[in-house]
Amino acid sequence: MLGIIINPKSGKRAFRAQHVYLFRLLRQRHEPFTYRVTQYAGHAIELARELVERGYDEILVLGGDGTLSEAVNGIMTAKTDAAQRSRIQLGLMPRGTGNDWGRYWGLTKDYKESLRRFFEGKGVPVDVGCVSYCRNGVEQKHYFINSVGFGVDPLTCQKAETLKYYIGSHHVNYLFGLIAAVVQHKAKHVVLKVDGKELVNDLLFTMNIANGPYSGGGIKQNPDADPSDGVFHGMFVKKPTFGQILKALPNLFNGKLTDLPFIYPIVGKEIEVGYRKHLMIEADGILEHFVAPCKVTCIEKAVVFRS
């Protein structure tokens, strides 16, 4: 059974044409379906959880990376077993600003092609990431499908979100947000362990732990990341000099950031971030606040992505 989750606030200008086309296509295909429309931040988590618990095994998301990420959180927290969860077919019709997950799969704002690939394409088992930490003595978990960022990364998302109110939703929001974040961010000392071995004990400027290679609206931070290989590929940057920042800027979109000598590569299934104070992260562009330490774990072949 097919369940559709629609975020009407993503890509608002094209919304009418897209959903009219989708419903007409479903009628032509004689495809039974149920659809739900999000009404507030986090609503897609509840909707996806409800659909999965009602037996829906296909979930199509009309929205951006954040809506897709919420749907993944709903799927992962639904009251069902791992075997049933791993058979769920997840799809995306990109309607957001960044489209970093869709970019890896070649999904663009061409909604007709995205829908064709969902209904006729091949399903690929993909990994899902889990960030776990304690709040008031109780373990909390937040899931992500593309990447999780620390330091400059979440501050960039915060700045980019603010810019939407002034210049609308554009890719350049992330570039302007990045510049503002680099100027404002203060490095924090962390201890980083990868698969139980200490990798870094230094000031954290920025870090991205990735399941997919793109983040921040097309920045190819982790070109080797593969959503189906069972490990994360990431990058850790300690506090850089002004000259190093200038050297990094031309490499933001060409996939060569990790070639720079002051960037530490990360490859592993489990990453522990040790820090005793408040931290902000972004998981697929969704901001989360907590008190470290935290653990980032790769859950292999958690769902099937159809593209």
Q: Give the count of beta carbons closer than 10 Å to the beta carbon of residue 221.
A: 29
Does one domain contain both 274 and 154? yes
Pairing mode of beta strands 278-283, 147-151: antiparallel
According to the model, what pLDDT value does residue 233 have? 96
Assigned token pair, 137: 């003595």
Does one domain contain both 195 and 262? yes
Q: What is the mean pLDDT of residues 194-205?
A: 91
Confidence category of residue 167, pLDDT binned at 50, 70, 90 = low
What is the number of structural domains in the chain? 2
Q: Which of 69, 91, 121 is the last residue of a domain?
A: 121
Does one domain contain both 268 and 161? yes
- pLDDT (tens digit, 9 = 90+) per residue, 49-89? 999 999 999 999 999 999 999 999 999 999 998 888 889 99
Does one domain contain both 236 and 197? yes
Does one domain contain both 244 and 278? yes
Report phi then psi at 81, rounded to 5: -85, 165
> Which is higher by pLDDT, 175 or 110?
110
Does one domain contain both 203 and 235? yes
Judge whether 307 lies within some domain.
Answer: no
pLDDT at 306 over 70: yes
Sign of the torsion angle spanned by Cα atoms 156, 158, 162, 167: positive
Buried b (16+ CB within 10 A) or exposed e, 227-240: beeebbbbbbbbbb
Q: What is the mean pLDDT of residues 92-100?
A: 85
**Gap between the Cα atoms of 173 and 166, Å rounded:** 10
According to the model, what pLDDT value does residue 211 have? 97
DSSP per position, 118-137: HHHS-EEEEEEEEEEEEETT
Confidence category of residue 187, pLDDT binned at 50, 70, 90 = confident
> Which is higher by pLDDT, 293 or 172?
293
Buried b (16+ CB within 10 A) or exposed e, 90-102: bbbbbbbbbbbbb
Give the CATH number for residue 56. 3.40.50.10330
Residues, the chain: 307
Does one domain contain both 248 and 144? yes
Mean pLDDT lowest among 10-14, 221-225, 299-303: 10-14
Confidence category of residue 169, pLDDT binned at 50, 70, 90 = low
Closest-CA residue to 80 (of 305, 256, 233, 302): 302
Q: Which of 90, 121, 152 is the last residue of a domain?
A: 121
Judge whether 306 lies within some domain.
Answer: no
Does one domain contain both 112 and 141? no
Does one domain contain both 9 and 41? yes
- pLDDT (tens digit, 9 = 90+) per residue, 223-271? 999 999 999 999 998 888 878 877 777 777 777 777 788 888 999 999 9
According to the model, what pLDDT value does residue 11 have? 56
Judge whether 198 lies within some domain.
Answer: yes
Give the CATH number for residue 218. 2.60.200.40
pLDDT at 164 over 70: no
Does one domain contain both 77 and 153? no
Q: Give the count of beta carbons closer than 10 Å to the beta carbon of residue 272.
A: 20
Q: Which of 79, 94, 121 is the last residue of a domain?
A: 121
Does one domain contain both 109 and 236? no
pTM of the model: 0.89
Does one domain contain both 242 and 180? yes
3-state DSSP assignment of residue 226: coil
Confidence category of residue 130, pLDDT binned at 50, 70, 90 = very high
Judge whether 162 lies within some domain.
Answer: yes
3-state DSSP assignment of residue 79: coil
According to the model, what pLDDT value does residue 172 have? 66
Q: What is the mean pLDDT of residues 140-169?
A: 79
Confidence category of residue 207, pLDDT binned at 50, 70, 90 = very high
According to the model, what pLDDT value does residue 79 have? 94
Closest-CA residue to 199 (of 121, 266, 290, 258): 266
What range defines the domain where residue 98 resides?
A: 2-121
**Gap between the Cα atoms of 52 and 67, Å rounded:** 16
Quote the percentage of the chain above a pLDDT of 90. 54
